[in-house]
Amino acid sequence: MLDIIQQHLGEIAAFNATTAEEVEQFRIKYLGRKGVLNDLFEGFKQVAPDQKKVLGQELNKLKNAVQERLDALHQATTSASSTSEGFDWSRPTGTIPLGTRHPLSIVRREILDIFSRIGFTVADGPEIEDDWHVFSGLNFPPEHPARDMQDTFFIHKPTQEGEKEMVLRTHTSSVQVRAMETRKPPIRIVMPGRVYRNEAVSSRAHCQFHQIEGLYIDEGVSFADMKQTLQYFTQEFFGKAKIRLRPSYFPFTEPSAEMDVYWGLNSEADHRITKGTGWLEIMGCGMVDPEVLRASGIDPDRYSGFAFGMGIERITMLRYQIDDLRMFFENDVRFLRQFQV
């Protein structure tokens, strides 16, 4: 067998091919199911144990030689065919243009970068959540409208005692609950992610969209801290520092507010998007309700905090003056090419 291997090594070194067909015949001869290597490895099983080490090394040497020669022949014949008469001149040439980031990804990254500069870190959580983390842990009473089937996508309704009710999360606030359960203050996090709601109210509605929420819990955190944080964000992102906070209601914050930024009335578009007021609603916010802290094992007598949340689609539409939400999901290359990082 050793002589046969040496003979094949010599044939491989001397073999040459000028066409792809000849290369394929070479491959079949040595690597095919009934090829030389298969036959030799079958015969190797019958070799005496004291000869297997030497023959095994030589067989591996032959196998590597076949592969190296095959690669070299492939490269040579491919290069030759590219200049031959058989070359397909209809094939596209030149560089392939690079794609661009999706506008939602661009805005998401910029928002996270802004908050990272003041000490916020990114937290994540599952999109399929249990009722506790989406509703109960955030002070949603059992009769709250958000629990209704028309708003929430239920994945699993309990059929026996002890089972959890599972839903597609309706907000990234569920990540806040998980963070408060597993971390000790101070907590300073932002939570981007997809959320799901049954928004079948118009042809422009979508059941899946994106949010970024923030949470800061520590000793002595006040409403003024929240205002300064959000004012910093609007200045960095929009270049506008004039904001206002209007009283609102959320089950998990008290007091709660809607934050508007003064957009101005410098153009016809400004009048249109602000409905002539100059103010634009950006996000909801408020001080974390003491009951929410207590439910997650944090002492509300010692710690306080604030939370805020915004829709990435809305912020992106304002940034780029996009007037149709559906454009984000249609994968129109002409639309996507307009955005460069």
Residue 199 has pLDDT above 70, yes or no: no
Asked if 112 and 30 sit in the same domain, the reply is: no
> What is the structure's pLDDT at 82?
52
Residue 161 has pLDDT above 90, yes or no: no
Asked if 296 and 249 sit in the same domain, the reply is: yes
Asked if 129 and 217 sit in the same domain, the reply is: yes
Instruction: Report the chain's mean pLDDT, rounded to a whole number.
Output: 84
Asked if 197 and 280 sit in the same domain, the reply is: yes
> What is the structure's pLDDT at 42?
81
Top pLDDT among 168 and 41 is at: 168
Q: Kindly report the backbone phi and psi dihedral angles of residue 75, in degrees, each rounded to the nearest multiple of 5, phi listed first.
A: -65, -40
Cα–Cα distance, 36 to 43 (Å, whole number): 11
Name the residue range of residue 203's domain: 103-336
Could you tell me the pLDDT band of residue 144, with boundaries at 50, 70 and 90? Answer: confident
Cα–Cα distance, 40 to 65 (Å, whole number): 15
Cα–Cα distance, 168 to 156 (Å, whole number): 10
> What is the structure's pLDDT at 255?
93
Query: 114, 310 in Cβ contact below 8 A?
Result: no
Asked if 187 and 296 sit in the same domain, the reply is: yes
Q: Would 28 be classed as within a structural domain? A: yes
Asked if 250 and 119 sit in the same domain, the reply is: yes
> What is the structure's pLDDT at 200?
61
Query: 261, 239 in Cβ contact below 8 A?
Result: no
For 15-44, how does the pLDDT look when each residue is reduced to its tens digit (9 = 90+)?
A: 887 787 888 888 888 888 888 888 887 887
> What is the structure's pLDDT at 180?
93
Asked if 142 and 180 sit in the same domain, the reply is: yes
Residue 148 has pLDDT above 70, yes or no: no
Average pLDDT, integer, range 118-133: 90
Query: 122, 187 in Cβ contact below 8 A?
Result: no
Cα–Cα distance, 341 to 326 (Å, whole number): 21
- Residue 128, strand partner residues: 168
Q: Would 91 be classed as within a structural domain? A: no
b or e along 235-247 (b: 16 or more beta carbons within 10 Å of the residue's beta carbon)?
A: ebbbeeeebebee
Domain count, the chain: 2
Asked if 165 and 220 sit in the same domain, the reply is: yes
For 48-99, how does the pLDDT look when each residue is reduced to its tens digit (9 = 90+)?
A: 888 878 878 888 888 888 888 888 888 877 665 555 556 666 777 777 777 7
Asked if 153 and 272 sit in the same domain, the reply is: yes
Could you tell me the pLDDT band of residue 223, with boundaries at 50, 70 and 90? Answer: very high
The DSSP secondary-structure symbol of 289 reads P
Which of 13, 46, 81 is the last residue before a domain boundary? 81
Average pLDDT, integer, range 281-302: 93
> What is the structure's pLDDT at 81?
53
b or e along 9-34 (b: 16 or more beta carbons within 10 Å of the residue's beta carbon)?
A: eeebeebebeeeeebbebbebbeeee
- Do the bridges between strand 187-196 and strand 121-122 make them parallel or antiparallel, or are there none, so unpaired? parallel
Q: Would 88 be classed as within a structural domain? A: no
Does the global pTM surpass 0.85? no
Share of the chain above pLDDT 70, in %: 91
Look up residue 211 and give its two tokens: 């949010």
Could you tell me the pLDDT band of residue 132, with boundaries at 50, 70 and 90? Answer: confident
Top pLDDT among 50 and 250 is at: 250
Asked if 146 and 242 sit in the same domain, the reply is: yes
Asked if 49 and 148 sit in the same domain, the reply is: no
Average pLDDT, integer, range 175-202: 86
